[in-house]
Amino acid sequence: MNKPERIDKTDATDQVMHAIGERARAAAHVLALAPTQAKNAALSAAADALRKSTPEILSANARDVAAAKEAGRPDAFVDRLLLDGARVAAIAKGLEEIAELPDPVGTILAEWTRPNGLKFQRVRVPLGVIGIIYESRPNVTADAGALALKAGNAAILRGGSESHNSAQAIHACLIEGLKAVKLPEAAIQLVPTTDRAAVGHMLAGLDGAIDVIVPRGGKSLVERVQKEARVPVFAHLEGICHTYVDRDADLAMAVSVTLNAKMRRPGICGATETLLVDKGAPANVLPALVKALLDAGCEVRGDEAAQAADTRVKPATEADWATEYLDTIISMKVIDGVQGAIEHITKYGTQHTDAIITANAKTAEHFLAAVDSAIVLHNASTQFADGAEFGFGAEIGIATGKLHARGPVGVEQLTSFKYLVHGAGQIRPK
Amino acid sequence: MNKPERIDKTDATDQVMHAIGERARAAAHVLALAPTQAKNAALSAAADALRKSTPEILSANARDVAAAKEAGRPDAFVDRLLLDGARVAAIAKGLEEIAELPDPVGTILAEWTRPNGLKFQRVRVPLGVIGIIYESRPNVTADAGALALKAGNAAILRGGSESHNSAQAIHACLIEGLKAVKLPEAAIQLVPTTDRAAVGHMLAGLDGAIDVIVPRGGKSLVERVQKEARVPVFAHLEGICHTYVDRDADLAMAVSVTLNAKMRRPGICGATETLLVDKGAPANVLPALVKALLDAGCEVRGDEAAQAADTRVKPATEADWATEYLDTIISMKVIDGVQGAIEHITKYGTQHTDAIITANAKTAEHFLAAVDSAIVLHNASTQFADGAEFGFGAEIGIATGKLHARGPVGVEQLTSFKYLVHGAGQIRPK
């Protein structure tokens, strides 16, 4: 019955998104040449605007929160959506921190001179236009827009429909910042429609206007983006991270690092999901690890050897090795040395983050070389898988692909490069 | 009627390609840890095998050439297909040159220590599995397989069906090289079927086995690959390269560089297709450029100003600005200074290679910053757009995408990286 109406809506979205792509591409040309000082000043002015507009932002957010509650959304969802004065202040501070990061654009990555006198430079340039698709977390509007801007890119932001009022209020402050320094307003665009077709247009690349898509959200969002995107995607689908306790591990360190790797924040992508223990480790290692985890309130699902260590250990099934719990649950397996650990991780890992605990430098070296993950740690917690902990400042996410951006995606990872060649009239012989 | 037969064939190709993907993935794990010396020795042994097997290669090639002639293929096609003793020797020498390049794997790209004592290293690792889809040029079998191997990757080669006998004979020599040093034979696989469905399987990524696709061939091949690939592609579709002669150009240099940029080899992707001349240049510049090109046998298609310079200049149409001639034809336009040149290149360029000729450093700097191409040259010929001229040794092609590999794709560009983090039991606070 309402078919004609839907067609109209789709047509309208099509036009809106096409225009957004064109404006983003035009803005990107200006941003690529924008001085560092202008980009930083825009971010500072946006931070000021956010602080000044806190009442408007909170009232927009209250409308989103009321609608989410009415729709019966779970508490965790509402909490992620909810803003208060402190959270707005933190968002403003985040913008200022991004302003303080070094500007990657123009950095000379390499330079050399050829025998014919041609001087080559490999120089960082912005990627161009970044599409960010995210769920109902209002802060992403500011964080993602600011990171893209700092790296000289135009951003097209498509937030969850349930945070649309909050996102609009925050976006207005970013625009104030851009206007204050006369940078194009199209540098950071918020998709104005909640029509889901808009996401499809972005995934198709908006007629070549979008250079890369960054999804921010749960597994189902990332899955859809990775499956449907016709442009490159910086993302990770799952972080099934492993900690391997080797026969040569210091026991106290193994216990402390494992507890932190699982329990500090069990819900982040860098949390350890599977603990691998060397069958060649001293007899007291396995029970000590099991007891520490159980006593800390973690459910342990183990193979037969782990179950034998404590009656509270539940049996692990094949599915457990392939599960990202994001919860206070860990799977645990006794394997045959570092080679067994590498084989298990190769089979079940998601190329995100994996760690070895050992005092044996040679064993560590082999593990670090053989494990094909974005981040491989020796004697440290997998919870360090985070751009801020790397010293990148803010990050837009963690990528597990092998192309371009791997690991934390910060300002530098939002750039490309080009070659500048300086000559004195050289022509190519032959 | 022959539907059942076709289904059988497709099923068979499906199985063959799936097995190739699995073997490549397994080989990639071994290659990632293979010592430099083993990879180099395999390449040298393959070069020896090529020289020793020259008679077999030439006889296989003769079968391909005879079939191509019988099929009425044009002379240029047959010439690209044809091998002789000298060409086989050049292929063997190419393998030895790749052996002599530095091994990128394991190179530390960056390292730093955080205040908590964690030591971070960003280290080059192979990409994994590279799929190369190419037309009937037998030498690509050796070149592409060797470059992939040197960077620690497994290669899946799918050559044009009309060079299949030649490719098989060359591939046998690569396998001899791998066997000589006990590297897995699956390190370099040649797709054994000429069924076109095999290409579709590769473009779909072989169930995640392929990390990147490199097409080597004409525009229609690259177009299909870019359109259908579900995995990243390193390629350029077209090289509509520009040379801009600024008002401050040295005239002799402008003439010499322009002639070389167009006429040295008009058929390569770095050949200049459009000459832009500053309307502020001295009156003798335009006629001198036109005359030099015409006298060298180049067809000139110009705007009104260019036509006024010489009666032999033909009128250019809108389509000329968007055409990659790959021939002794050039389009020519008078524009308004460096800004006019940048606007023309932004509108019609293909982000491949563009050059400015000027003695004014400030003008050059602006052009180099504003032109968004993989390679931007100052006072040098666009024909330098080539991995060997960059000092990369061999290249597998030139990429115009902004992600990961941009410009010439040599051994380094066939790698990724990972982060190694060295700790002493650090746990993440909070």
Digit-by-digit pLDDT tens for chain A (430 residues) are 333 344 456 678 899 999 999 999 999 999 999 999 999 999 999 999 999 999 999 999 999 999 999 999 998 889 889 999 999 999 999 999 999 999 999 999 999 999 999 999 999 999 999 999 998 888 999 999 999 999 999 999 999 999 999 999 999 999 999 999 999 999 999 999 888 899 999 999 999 999 999 999 888 999 999 889 888 889 888 999 999 999 999 999 999 999 999 999 998 999 999 999 999 999 999 999 999 999 999 999 999 999 999 999 999 999 999 999 999 999 999 999 999 999 999 999 999 999 999 999 999 999 999 999 999 999 999 999 998 898 888 888 888 888 888 888 888 888 998 989 998 989 999 8
Chain B neighbors of A29, CB-CB under 8 A: 346, 370, 372
Cα separation, A42 vs A375, in Å, equals 34
A253–B426 C-beta distance less than 8 A: no
- Contact, A157 vs A137, CB < 8 A? no
Q: What is the ipTM of this complex?
A: 0.88
Interface residue A426 vs chain B (CB under 8 A)? yes
Interface residue B406 vs chain A (CB under 8 A)? yes
Distances (CA, A) of A57 to A43, B52, B380: 18, 77, 55
Predicted confidence at residue A49, as pLDDT, reads: 98
Q: What is the mean pLDDT of chain B?
A: 93
Question: Between A54-70 and A85-100, two packed helices, what is the crossing angle to 10 degrees?
Answer: 120
> At residue B246, what are phi and psi to the nearest 5 degrees?
-85, 165
Interface residue B267 vs chain A (CB under 8 A)? no
Interface residue B272 vs chain A (CB under 8 A)? no
B372–A420 C-beta distance less than 8 A: no
Minimum Cα–Cα distance from B29: chain A residue: A370
Q: Where in chain A is the domain with CATH 3.40.309.10?
A: 241-390
Classify B12-234+412-417 by CATH class: alpha beta
Minimum Cα–Cα distance from B254: chain A residue: A425
Classify A3-234+412-417 by CATH class: alpha beta
Interface residue B404 vs chain A (CB under 8 A)? yes
Q: Is the pLDDT of residue B158 over 90?
A: yes
A406–B418 C-beta distance less than 8 A: yes
Chain A neighbors of B404, CB-CB under 8 A: 403-404
Nearest Cα to Cα of residue B167 among B195, B203, B191: B191
Interface residue B347 vs chain A (CB under 8 A)? no
* Nearest Cβ partner for A390 among B120, B372, B376: B120
Cα separation, B259 vs A167, in Å, equals 55
| Beta bridge partners of residue B213, listed in sequence order | B131, B233
* Nearest Cβ partner for A374 among B372, B375, B419: B419
Predicted confidence at residue A136, as pLDDT, reads: 82
State the DSSP H helix or E strand holding residue A332, giving kind and residue range, or none if neither.
strand A329-335
**Residues of chain B above pLDDT 90, percent:** 78
pLDDT tens digits, B256-272 = 999 999 999 998 999 99
B127–A32 C-beta distance less than 8 A: no
Predicted confidence at residue B2, as pLDDT, reads: 37
Classify B241-389 by CATH class: alpha beta
Contacts with A141 (C-beta within 8 Å, 6 or more apart), sequence order: A157, A159, A166, A167, A170, A171, A174, A190
Task: Tell me the pTM.
Answer: 0.89
* Nearest Cβ partner for A33 among B32, B369, B384: B369
Interface residue A264 vs chain B (CB under 8 A)? yes
Classify A241-390 by CATH class: alpha beta
**Residues of chain B above pLDDT 70, percent:** 98
Predicted confidence at residue B282, as pLDDT, reads: 97
B76 or A369, which is more confident?
Answer: A369
Chain B neighbors of A232, CB-CB under 8 A: 232, 403
Predicted confidence at residue A137, as pLDDT, reads: 87
End-to-end CA distance of chain A, in Å?
A: 71
B346–A428 C-beta distance less than 8 A: no
Minimum Cα–Cα distance from A29: chain B residue: B370
A residues 210-229 closer than 8 Å to B (CB): 211-212
B residues 141-180 closer than 8 Å to A (CB): none
* Nearest Cβ partner for B402 among A128, A253, A374: A128
Minimum Cα–Cα distance from B368: chain A residue: A420
A212–B378 C-beta distance less than 8 A: no
Q: Where in chain B is the domain with CATH 3.40.309.10?
A: 241-389
Residue from A212, A402, A412 whose CB has the most chain B CBs within 10 Å, to mutate:
A402
**How far off is chain A from B320, nearest CA to CA, in Å?**
22
pLDDT tens digits, B95-144 = 999 999 999 999 999 999 999 999 999 999 999 999 999 988 889 999 99
- Contact, A400 vs A382, CB < 8 A? no
Interface residue B249 vs chain A (CB under 8 A)? no
Interface residue A283 vs chain B (CB under 8 A)? no
Interface residue A78 vs chain B (CB under 8 A)? no
A420 or B276, which is more confident?
Answer: B276
Cα separation, A260 vs A298, in Å, equals 12
Q: Where in chain B is the domain with CATH 3.40.605.10?
A: 12-234+412-417
* Nearest Cβ partner for A402 among B33, B211, B369: B211
